[in-house]
Amino acid sequence: MTSSAKSSTPPAGKAIVLSIKPKYAELILAGTKTVEFRRAWAAEKVDMIAIYASAPIQKLVGIVQVADIVRAKPTTLWSYCSKRGGGLTKTELTAYFNDKDAGFAVLLQDAKRFPKGIDPKKVVKGFTPPQSFRYMTTAEIRKLEKLLEAKR
* CATH at residue 107: 2.30.130.30
**What pLDDT score was predicted for residue 145?**
86
Q: Is residue 9 part of a domain?
A: no
Q: Is residue 85 part of a domain?
A: yes
**What pLDDT score was predicted for residue 10?**
46
Q: Is residue 1 part of a domain?
A: no
**What pLDDT score was predicted for residue 6?**
42
- Can you give the pLDDT of all 152 residues of the chain as single tens digits? 333 334 444 445 799 999 999 999 999 999 999 999 999 999 999 999 999 999 999 999 999 999 999 999 998 998 878 888 888 899 999 999 999 999 999 999 999 999 889 999 999 999 999 998 999 999 999 999 888 787 66
Q: Is residue 8 part of a domain?
A: no
* Sequence-ordered list of residues with C-beta below 8 angstroms from that of 114, at least 6 positions apart, any chain: 59, 60, 61, 62, 63, 148, 151
Q: What share of the chain is helix, strand, coil (3-state, %, to 5)?
A: 30, 35, 35
Q: Is residue 35 part of a domain?
A: yes
HSE-CB at 149 with a 13 A cutoff on CA atoms is 12
**What pLDDT score was predicted for residue 148?**
79
Distance separating alpha carbons of residues 3 and 150, to the nearest angstrom: 17
Q: How many domains does the chain have?
A: 1
Give the domain range for residue 81.
Answer: 15-146
